[in-house]
């Protein structure tokens, strides 16, 4: 098939503006009161880019619950949505693994029945294979229920209305989980977090405001000295015009200079205000130091989780590949009459568990990546949102 003309493909893209969509999201994050202006006008579906749809849905969820939707709260909701999404991907993968396991059991039943028909296998062996197939049918049913539960969890986080047709539809994930090796060093991760964590920025801004307040309080401790000056010109003559003429000649100049000095003995009110303001400043500085330490530990843990989850992908993949080879070898032995149903079914169960473990490792890795993005303050950046207040 020939490649489609890129110019023709562009015609299929609906008109949209990334800048306008980003401006709406940014305006809402900066000013929560702006929600009243778009509440009945916009929905998440009005946004072209999927990441903006997700962010708007997160804002809508918080607004309906009468919760503030700033950087921190929206990032928290987005991380939960990401984790729920990868949880759905994992549930679908586990369902597929159970279906493959069930098909293997069905295949074994057919092989057993064929061998019974030619007299090379006892009929009791067929019952064992059928019993295992029935057990795996139960596992498939449970896995299907887990997929539906994962879908509902994601729909709930995306805040779909109760009468929305999406509740009757299946969610088909389109984004593939990442298996790319992490390259971010601990030092860079901590530096990025200290630069981008919004709650730390807010505390630092509060310190600047408190420092200004302390300067004002310090000025109240000092004596007050006011200097007053006055310059006057006057004209004195028999006519109005002649009097004005004397002004231009500076014939009568009056200068008055004065000073006012005051000092509150004891100045207890100002001293008390100063000490309270300084104490508040010291407390805010302590809060910043404590938060920096908490961020340091948080990033270390989240980055370690990412590295561990990535290593588990490789380990579980090797285990799955070995399980496939073991089952294939055992199946060949069984076909030659050198193995039993029990052995084959056991290796099938081991393969199913290995496939499930690999899927869980991939899911855990992507969830760890989402939580690391939150820890280093890069969640919005990953969705191409950069907002300057």
**pLDDT tens sequence across 242-279:** 656 665 666 666 677 777 766 666 677 878 888 898 89
pTM of the model: 0.72
- Residue 75 CA: distances (Å) to CA of 38, 59, 159, 193, 331: 21, 10, 16, 14, 50
- Are residues 186 and 299 in contact, defined by beta-carbon separation less than 8 angstroms? yes
Tell me, what's the pLDDT at 10? 45
Q: Is 252 helix (H, G, I), strand (E, B) or coil?
A: strand
Range with top average pLDDT, 48-52, 259-263, 296-300, 377-381:
296-300
Per-residue model confidence as pLDDT tens digits over 290-344: 999 999 999 999 999 999 999 999 999 999 999 999 999 999 998 888 888 889 9
Q: What is the DSSP string of 158-207?
A: TT--TT-GGGGS-----SPPP-PPP---HHHHHHHHHHH-HHHHHHHHHH
């Amino acid at each position: 098939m020939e490649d489609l003309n890129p110019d023709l493909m562009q015609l299929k893209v609906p008109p949209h503006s990334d800048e306008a969509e980003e401006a709406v999201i940014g305006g809402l994050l900066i000013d929560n009161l702006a929600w009243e202006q778009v509440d009945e006008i916009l929905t998440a579906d009005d946004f072209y880019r999927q990441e903006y749809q997700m962010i708007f849905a997160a804002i809508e969820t918080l607004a309906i619950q009468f919760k503030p939707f700033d950087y921190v709260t929206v990032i928290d909701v987005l991380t939960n949505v990401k984790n729920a999404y990868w949880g759905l991907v994992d549930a679908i993968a586990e369902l597929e693994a159970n279906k493959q396991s069930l098909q293997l059991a069905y295949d074994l039943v057919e092989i057993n029945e064929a061998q019974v028909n030619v007299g090379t296998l006892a009929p009791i062996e067929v019952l064992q294979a059928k019993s295992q197939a029935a057990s795996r049918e139960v596992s498939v049913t449970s896995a299907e229920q887990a997929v539906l539960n994962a879908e509902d969890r994601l729909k709930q986080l995306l805040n779909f209305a109760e009468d929305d047709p999406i509740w009757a539809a299946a969610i088909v994930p389109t984004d593939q989980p990442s298996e790319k090796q992490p390259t971010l060093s601990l030092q860079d991760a901590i530096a990025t977090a200290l630069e981008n964590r919004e709650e730390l920025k807010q505390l630092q801004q509060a310190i600047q405001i408190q420092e200004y307040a302390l300067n004002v309080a310090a000025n109240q401790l000092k004596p007050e000295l006011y200097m007053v000056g006055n310059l006057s010109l006057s004209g004195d003559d028999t006519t109005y015009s002649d009097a004005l003429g004397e002004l231009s000649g500076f014939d009568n100049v009056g200068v008055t200079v004065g000073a006012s000095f005051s000092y509150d003995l004891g100045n207890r009110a100002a001293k008390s205000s100063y000490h309270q303001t300084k104490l508040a400043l010291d407390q805010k500085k302590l809060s910043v130091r404590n938060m920096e330490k908490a961020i340091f530990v948080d990033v270390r843990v989240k980055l370690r989780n990412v590295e561990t989850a990535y290593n588990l992908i490789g380990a579980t993949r090797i285990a799955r590949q070995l399980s496939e080879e073991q089952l294939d070898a055992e199946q060949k032995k069984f076909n030659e009459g050198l193995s039993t149903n029990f052995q084959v079914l056991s290796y099938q169960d081991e393969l199913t568990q290995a496939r499930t473990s690999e899927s869980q490792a991939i899911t855990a890795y992507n969830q760890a990546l989402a939580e690391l993005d939150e820890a280093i303050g890069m969640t919005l950046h990953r969705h191409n949102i950069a907002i300057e207040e």
